[in-house]
Amino acid sequence: MAGKASHVSKSNRLKFIIGGGLFLVAVVFMVISATRATAEFFMTVGELQGSDGDLVGQNLRISGAVIGDSIQYDTGTGQLAFFIAHIPGDQDEIRDAGGLSYVLHRAVTDPDNPRLRILYQGAPPDMLRDEAQAILTGTLNPEGDFIAEELLLKCPSKYEEALPNQVEN
Amino acid sequence: MIPILGYVTLALAFLLTVYGLMAAVMGLVNKSAAWTESARLALLLIFPLMTISVVTLIALLVNQRFDVSFVYSVTNLEMPLYLRVTALWGGQSGSLLFWSWLLAGFSLFFAVRKWQDAADLLPWTLIVVFFTLGFFLMLNVFMESPFERFWHLPDGSQALSVLQPAGAWPITPQDGQGLNPLLRHPGMIWHPPALYLGFVGFIIPFALAVGTLASGRRDLRWFEIARPWTLITWVFLSLGLVLGMRWAYDILGWGGYWGWDPVEIAALMPWLSATAFIHTNIMQRRNNAFRLWNLVLIILTFVLIIFGTFITRSGMLSSVHAFAGSEIGLPMFIFTALLSLGSLGLLIYRWSEFQTGYEPEFGFSKEVLTLFTNLVLLSILVVCFLGVIYPIISELLTDTQITVGPAWYKRILGPLLILLLLLVGICPLAAWSGTNLGRLKKRLWVLLPLSLLGPVAMGVFGGVRHWVVLVALWLVCFSILVIISDYLQKVSIAKLRTQEGLLSAIGAPIRRNHRRYGGVLVHLGIVLMSIGIIGIEGLQQETQVTLALGESVEIQGYTIRFEGLEHFDVGEGIFITEAVLTLNRGGKPVGALYPQREIYLNMGMAITQPGLRSNLAGDLYAVLIDWRPITQDEATFRIFYNPLVSWLWVGTGVLTIGVVVAILPDSFRRKKRFVP
């Protein structure tokens, strides 16, 4: 079975190296071009408001707390608009500040917290409600509104709180 | 005292893994068969003990023991029985227990098998099994126990503990929080168990691979033992992935089934490396080639599974599927690192010893195509991995987190998937160690023009204009024709050679070489699945309309008419609003769509259930978005037309049958060969 194994010619190996090499170069090229075209910068609402307009048109990804009262949906045009409030971008920071649900609650109730207007062409998702964490991708328009192309709401599927608050009642 | 029974059996199982690990090491160090035997017997006990623990937890869930924190968090009084049982894997600690239990089930294989033919592999495989099992049981016993109860402490505070703290009295909530409505779906029954089986089953080839490396045994015995289990596990992983897609398609209401979410990718990565492994393994059996490479691939697969579990369960990545942040992140990271570094060290240690020096000749042969397939599969894997860790790396290097999304994956992986389709198609045309190109030309003269009929028909009658879609459809037609013509050729040879009747000859190729034709069926399944993917990626149509009562809209030859809204109070705090959309095609009524919105008052959540009409040509998929609250004479819908998507599910069925054919015992063909 292994008879051919001993017969190794240099030009044969070269063909494999060239063929495989060309393929890998093509893949690397595709990765670089796709990254240039579609990669998104992750920013918080606070960081975004601190910038001076140089981010307009750049692909962005933003996380924030949904302000329930601000949700407006126009069935005629199919446009959804709402505000999100700044929350820290770092997981550890959120944990140190008292956990995600507490941070979201504080973000929405604090009137001094930076806010950002979100515009989205499409129906309100099921999980869009007050104090939900929204993760949005899209771009900033010159007016400073965020045009969301994709709307991800943090799934509350695993809300495993250590102790129920209402246990006593 | 039921929670304590569950906890004690779990703790006993953990102690047995500690003992078993020690005994297996002793057996190895002292070359003592008695110690190894003792370790094997310890392994025999772990699964029954864990079964008691799992049954206990199910009993707590079914009996609504809300004083147990896990039961409180995943069930409530309103949930039906089947959901209370499946809530076992509805939260972190319970699903971890379920995972460990399945792992123990597969590990039982090592305890039950007779090892006379591979006694040298046993001590090492036992060490790997005990180490892995011990780790997960440790998490369950010390960090994520599903048996903890609520207690009131004498100082007025509350605590979670399995055992009663001194002076404390139990707290029994009246009702639980209940499972997330998204998880209250029949998909919950099948998807997680299939996926988990598809993950933990790889413990068998992985432990044997480490065993053969560590013991220095260079033959293929380890894989012959692991082969059926590897294929069964692979098919469960495939089914787990597809069932997840189906579930997302049925309930998430965005018209698709795959969102390039990090957790989805984490489950796809081991599938890719395992698929590469299955392919190069055939080469090792034929040419004694790629001995080392195969070991690398199976080790990579298992490490990726543990890595995927780590990123899903540690709360490290934000994802729809991920569990909430948890303390088990650090130990899981350490375990993943230990497993990877240990295997890597072992591979380096045996590198020169296990090399085969085999090199196929460059040309149009099955060997070269298999190698190329490996390269493509692993490139996809590397791209996926890069996408998952991109945010983490970019944050370390540039201080700004840069993420990549579906558009990034589609741009890179689209061409690679089309390349894979091409490879599947031309594979049966190549022969092992070289191909007779003259004969190939003759076949291509028939097959190429014939295969063009498909895309031409789609272009002319289906109105498909996108050239990438047409190329992909052409590859599908070509692949199917090649597979069928190849099979028919083998049937006619069998008919001539043995003068069998036609019916018997049709089964003859499978009887002669069920491993090969099982593989061919799997390829056919993949080709059929890709029809569904091409349909939704390339041809999906989407529109949003607001319809007044009695108004209709035209989509893909269907007239869709809004007939009204209905409301149901199904009890249990769930209210359903259902729209009725009747369908007409060519003036004839052809059924109706019933998109729903389910509102879970108790949880303040709403779920969108699409109305679906599905056939092999395509799916009409309607989502109810909004309606006029008082008059109800107007409602807004998003309507998708998803062409060909059903082929994804059909292909999955064919793929499963193919694996079943491939793992039939070889005696199946020997017996049949002598049938007169």
Residues in A touching B358 (Cβ below 8 Å): 2, 4-5
- Confidence at B579, pLDDT banded by 50, 70, 90: very high
What's residue B316's pLDDT? Answer: 64
Question: What per-residue confidence (pLDDT) applies to B100?
Answer: 96
Taking contacts as CB-CB distances below 8 angstroms, the residues of chain B near A161 are 73
pLDDT for A169 equals: 28
pLDDT of the residue at B330:
86
Share of chain B above pLDDT 90, in %: 53
What pLDDT, on a 0 to 100 scale, did the predictor assign at position B163? 87
Coil, strand or helix: which one is B270? helix
Residue B495 DSSP SS3: helix
Q: Is A163 close to B150, i.e. CB distance below 8 A? A: yes
Residue B400 has pLDDT above 60, yes or no: yes
Domain ranges of chain A: 11-38, 41-154
Contact B626/A154, CB-based, under 8 Å?
A: no
Q: What is the pLDDT of residues B304-330, one digit of tens each?
A: 999 998 888 876 665 555 555 567 888
Confidence (pLDDT) at B669: 54
**Is the predicted pLDDT of residue B21 greater than 70, yes or no?**
yes
Helix (H, G, I), strand (E, B) or coil at B619: strand
Q: B25 with B69: CB under 8 angstroms?
A: no
| Residue B631: pLDDT over 90 | no
Strand partners, A44: A63
Q: According to the model, what pLDDT value does residue B639 have?
A: 93
* Cβ B626 vs Cβ B559: under 8 Å: no
Residue B670 pLDDT greater than 60, yes or no: no
What stretches of B75-186 show up as alpha helix (H) in DSSP?
81-86, 92-112, 122-138
Nearest to A160 among B73, B318, B371 (CB): B73
Q: Give the pLDDT score at A5.
A: 43
Buried b (16+ CB within 10 A) or exposed e, B342-359: bbeebbeebeeebebebb
| pLDDT higher than 60, residue B439 | yes
Q: What pLDDT does residue A124 have?
A: 81
- How many Cβ atoms sit within 10 Å of the Cβ of residue B461? 8
pLDDT tens-digit series, residues B498-552: 777 777 888 888 888 888 899 999 999 999 999 999 998 888 988 888 899 999 9
Q: Which residues of A touch B623 (CB under 8 A)?
A: 123
Q: How does pLDDT run across B334-383, given as a tens digit for each residue?
A: 999 999 999 999 999 998 888 877 888 888 888 899 999 999 999 999 99
CATH superfamily name and code, A41-154: Nucleic acid-binding proteins (2.40.50.140)
Q: Does B190 contact chain A (CB < 8 Å)?
A: no
Q: Look up residue B485 and give its two tokens.
A: 């013509």
| pLDDT, position A10 | 78
Predicted local confidence at residue A154, as pLDDT: 67
- B674 pLDDT band, cuts 50/70/90, is very low
| pLDDT < 50 regions, chain A | 1-6, 155-169
- Residue A164: the pLDDT is 35
Tell me which chain A residue has its CA closest to the CA of residue B394: A41
- Chain A CB within 8 Å of residue B591 CB: no
**Cα–Cα distance list, B399 to A21, A47, A120, B386, B402 (Å):** 33, 13, 28, 18, 9
More confidently predicted of B571 and B449: B449
Question: What per-residue confidence (pLDDT) applies to B321?
Answer: 54
Nearest Cα residue in chain B from A47: B400
Query: Tens of pLDDT along B237-265?
Result: 999 999 999 988 988 777 788 888 888 89
Angle between helix B291-313 and B187-200 (nearest 10): 140
* A70 near B CB under 8 A: no
DSSP strand pairing (A115-121 vs A146-153) = parallel
Residue B118 has a pLDDT of 87
Q: A59-72 burial, b if ≥16 CB within 10 A, otherwise e? A: bbbbbbbbbeebbe
Residue B542: in which H helix or E strand, if any?
strand B541-548
Q: Residue A10 is which amino acid?
A: K
Whether the predicted pLDDT of B676 surpasses 60: no
Pairing of strands B605-609, B596-600: antiparallel
Pull the structure tokens for residue B406. 């579906």
| CA separation for the pair B654, B235 (Å, rounded) | 11
Q: Tell me the three-class secondary structure of B424-474, residue by residue.
A: HHHHHHCECCCCCHHHHHHHHHHHHHHHHHHHHHHHHCCCCCCHHHHHHHH
How confident is the model at residue B499, as a pLDDT? 73
d(CA B329, CA B404) in angstroms, rounded, equals: 23
For position B490, what pLDDT does the model report? 86
Q: How close B180 gets to chain A, by Cα (Å)? A: 5
pTM of the model: 0.88
> Any chain A CB within 8 A of the CB of B596?
no
Which of B68, B73, B290, B601 to mutate to test binding with chain A, by most A CBs within 10 Å of its CB? B73
Does residue A96 sit at the B interface (CB-CB below 8 Å)? no
Average pLDDT over residues B95-119: 93
Residues 2-61 of A with CB under 8 A from B: 2, 4-6, 8, 12-13, 15-16, 19-20, 23-24, 27, 30-31, 33-35, 37-43, 61
Please name every residue paired with B565 in a beta bridge, in sequence order, or none if there are none: B579
- A123 with B322: Cβ contact below 8 A: no
**Chain A neighbors of B320, CB-CB under 8 A:** 152, 155, 157
Instruction: Read off the DSSP letter of residue B544.
Output: E
pLDDT of residue B610: 92
Per-chain mean pLDDT for chain B: 89
Beta bridge partners of B170: B151
ipTM of the complex: 0.83
Taking contacts as CB-CB distances below 8 angstroms, the residues of chain B near A91 are: 315-316, 325
Q: What is the pLDDT of residue A2?
A: 38
Q: Looking at the partner chain, which of B320, B411, B605 has a beta carbon nearest the beta carbon of A30?
A: B411
B277-304: burial string, b at 16+ Cβ within 10 Å, e else: bbbbbbbbeebbbbbbbbbbbbbbbbbb
Longest distance between any two alpha carbons in chain A, whole Å? 82
